[in-house]
Amino acid sequence: MKVGIAYTDDPSSAKLWTRLPEPVLPRDQLDCRYWEEVTQYKSNIIDDKERSLGYPFVMFYNGKPQAPYERMGMAVSHDIKTRLRYGVEPVIHNPRGIAGDPQITRIGDVWVMFYFGAFWKPGAFDSFACSYDRVVDHFYFAVGDQRRVIALAASKDLNDQAKAKAKDAVTLPPEQ
Amino acid sequence: MVYITFRGGGYETLIAISDDRLESKQLGKILPFRKDAWDAVQSAGYIAWQDFAWGGSYELGQHDGKYWISYLVGHLRDTSPPP
């Protein structure tokens, strides 16, 4: 898998987004890094207003090498379309298992990356990493015994409200 | 809310709206699979250029007068489902 880019002039409707003709960061480029040799996964592009790396577009993404783990690294761009790999090593590198699906936020002076981890401890779990020099509600991906869902973690208890809504909920057939 | 679904071996990107975050109405696909293209089986979008300050506006930023998304693409069922 690779990373593609698309755009729209109306992000609030179900109109199809327009895709750029080619994926960015092809893996046959000479500067392809070992940790993305096999595949590239989820990306998160942010607008670094401080240009702390010299670029407005900074992208974090996870990749997989010829080994059973995933790590996350960075790419940068001046125009979002032409992407340059930044550095050689990953920025999140756990000894084993998966570190994937980065989502960046900034809390005060701290850069925080939420991501999902798996297999360096049992199962899969939400995790985060912090940095001072780099660079609410939180929707997260959950795995239950019935199906995969989108869950909502909130800073106040919404359970009573949610239970009232659930009375009217429709149950879908199991995922194929 | 822009979100992805996993069906038939790959991810696709859709949009839903909600007044209260507890109940959402699905509007449809914004990055569906494209037959015989490099995103025939994987097309999982993640909004780009959004205000990422914790407790901030979370507004979508524009570049060249457009809104942008990066997405995971693939034409093979080569991703294992998430754990």
Task: Tell me the chain A residues in contact with residue B20 when contact means C-beta distances shorter than 8 Å.
Answer: 161
* Contact criterion met (CB < 8 Å) for A2 and B74: yes
What's the CA gap between B69 and A7, in Å, rounded? 6
Domain boundaries, chain A: 17-167
Domain A17-167: give its CATH architecture: 5 Propeller (2.115)
Per-residue pLDDT, A130? 84
pLDDT along chain A (176 residues), means of 10: 96 96 92 94 94 93 92 93 91 86 91 88 84 55 55 72 68 50
Question: With contacts defined as CB-CB under 8 Å, which chain B residues touch A7?
Answer: 66-69
Chain B residue with minimal CA distance to A47?
B49
Closest chain A residue to B56 measured between Cα atoms? A136
- Of A85, A117, A86, A115, nearest in space to A102 by CA: A115
- CB–CB of B1 and A19 under 8 A? no
Pairing of strands B2-7, A148-153: unpaired
**Which residues partner with A44 through β-bridges?**
A60
Q: Is A2 on the interface with B (CB under 8 A)?
A: yes
Q: Cβ contacts (< 8 Å) between A14 and chain B: which residues? A: 14-15, 27-30
Close Cβ partners of A102 (under 8 Å, ≥ 6 residues apart):
A42, A43, A44, A60, A61, A62, A72, A92, A113, A114, A115
The pLDDT value recorded for residue A169 is 58
pLDDT value of position A77: 95
The pLDDT tens digits of the residues spanning B7-59 come to 778 999 999 999 998 899 999 999 999 999 999 999 999 999 999 999 999 99
